[in-house]
């Protein structure tokens, strides 16, 4: 593989990690912009800086610490990425998604992907949480897919199905846990659309995406979900609506990363309890 993220390289990283800790996580969590606090709730944590992990990319975005944390969430061993990689950082798409394959080789069964996203659905408010039920891979329309290139059957099939990408049972569990925790009023289920970034969307782009059926827009998650599904991981994903996409030419609103990080702080504890309660209730068979 020309990007150097072949099976052997992922295996080398996974084996290195397995030698550093006795924890054997079944669940991996990826923290979105400003959502790194999820990783701080891990007990008995052992953390590795990305620069110390063989073959691992580096975080370059503010609000993404660049640490891989092993620990326990409500007694269940988990691994958590405090900091993810985005296409706009300039990495090859195979590199930003390599952690999914490394998780697979660690023995992980389920990944929980989180992100900060702009709300397109007019019913969504800043601070709302959207369970992702489906995605639109806009870069994919232009030939940008993390599975491009030779297919390694040890990970998965050449043409993976995506109609069941976001596990139905886990979405049901999230709704149930959300209701139990009293989060029902600010939780939705919808479609996430990924764009390349890093420039935020124009008004015309937001209007177009809404018409195409997207409820939220961002610059991550979808590529991870594709690679995770390809290698047989179960995927659950959620968006925190950190800003309202601007749809109106008279609006004075301007999307900005500071607002994104700030909203993350406001919901940080609730998201941590949603995720940890889900992890506690998950079955792995
Ligand atoms: C923009 O503020 C950044 O926040 C989101 C967007 O994708 C973009 O990177 O980050 P996450 O998707 O990593 O949460």
Q: What is the pLDDT of residues 13-49, one digit of tens each?
A: 999 999 999 999 999 999 998 888 888 889 999 999 9
What is the 33 CA–ligand 1 centroid distance (Å)?
A: 5
- C-beta neighbour count of 91 within 10 angstroms: 18
Of 243, 272, 278, 282, the catalytic one is 243
Of 219, 225, 237, 245, the catalytic one is 219
Where residue 98 falls among pLDDT bands split at 50, 70, 90? very high
What does 181-230 look like in DSSP terms, one character per residue? Answer: TT-GGGEEEEEEEE---SSPPPHHHHHHHHHTT-SEEESSSHHHHHHHHH
Q: Indicate if 219 belongs to the active site.
A: yes
pLDDT at 75: 93
For a mutational test of ligand 1's pocket, the pick from 86, 114, 198, 268, i.e. the residue with the most ligand atoms closer than 8 A to its C-beta, is: 86
pLDDT at 113: 98
Helix (H) or strand (E) holding 111: strand 110-119
Q: Which atom of ligand 1 is nearest to the CA of 116?
A: 14
pLDDT at 284: 75
> What average pLDDT does the chain have?
94
Q: Is the pLDDT of residue 1 over 60?
A: no
Name the 3-class secondary structure at 279: helix
Question: What is the rounded CA–CA span in Å between residue 60 and residue 284?
Answer: 34
The alpha carbon torsion through 94, 90, 234, 109 (nearest 10 deg) reads 70
What is the 242 CA–ligand 1 centroid distance (Å)?
A: 10
The whole-number average pLDDT for the span 252-261 is 88
pTM > 0.90: yes or no: yes
């Amino acid at each position: 593989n020309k990007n150097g993220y072949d099976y052997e390289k992922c295996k080398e990283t996974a084996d290195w990690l397995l030698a550093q800790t006795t924890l054997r996580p079944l669940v991996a969590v990826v923290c979105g912009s400003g959502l790194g606090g999820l990783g701080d709730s891990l007990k008995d944590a052992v953390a590795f800086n990305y620069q110390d992990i063989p073959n691992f990319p580096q975080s370059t975005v503010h609000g993404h610490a660049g640490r891989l944390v092993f620990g326990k969430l409500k007694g269940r061993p988990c691994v958590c990425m405090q900091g993810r990689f985005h296409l706009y950082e300039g990495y090859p798409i195979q590199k930003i998604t390599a952690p999914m394959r490394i998780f697979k080789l660690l023995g992980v069964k389920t990944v929980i992907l989180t992100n900060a996203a702009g709300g397109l659905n007019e019913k969504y408010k800043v601070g709302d949480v959207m369970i992702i039920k489906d995605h639109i891979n806009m870069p994919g329309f232009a030939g940008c897919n993390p599975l491009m290139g030779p297919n390694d059957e040890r990970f998965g099939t050449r043409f993976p199905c995506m109609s069941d990408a976001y596990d139905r049972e886990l979405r049901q569990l999230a709704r149930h846990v959300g209701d139990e925790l009293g989060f029902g009023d600010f939780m939705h289920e919808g479609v996430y659309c990924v764009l390349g970034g890093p420039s935020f969307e124009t008004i015309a782009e937001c209007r177009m995406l809404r018409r195409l059926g997207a409820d939220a827009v961002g610059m991550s998650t979808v590529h991870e979900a594709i690679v995770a599904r390809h290698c047989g991981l179960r995927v659950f994903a959620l968006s925190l609506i950190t800003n309202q996409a601007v749809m109106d030419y008279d609006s004075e609103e301007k999307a900005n990363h500071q607002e994104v990080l700030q909203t993350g702080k406001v919901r940080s504890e609730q998201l941590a309890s949603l995720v940890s309660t889900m992890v506690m209730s998950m079955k792995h068979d």
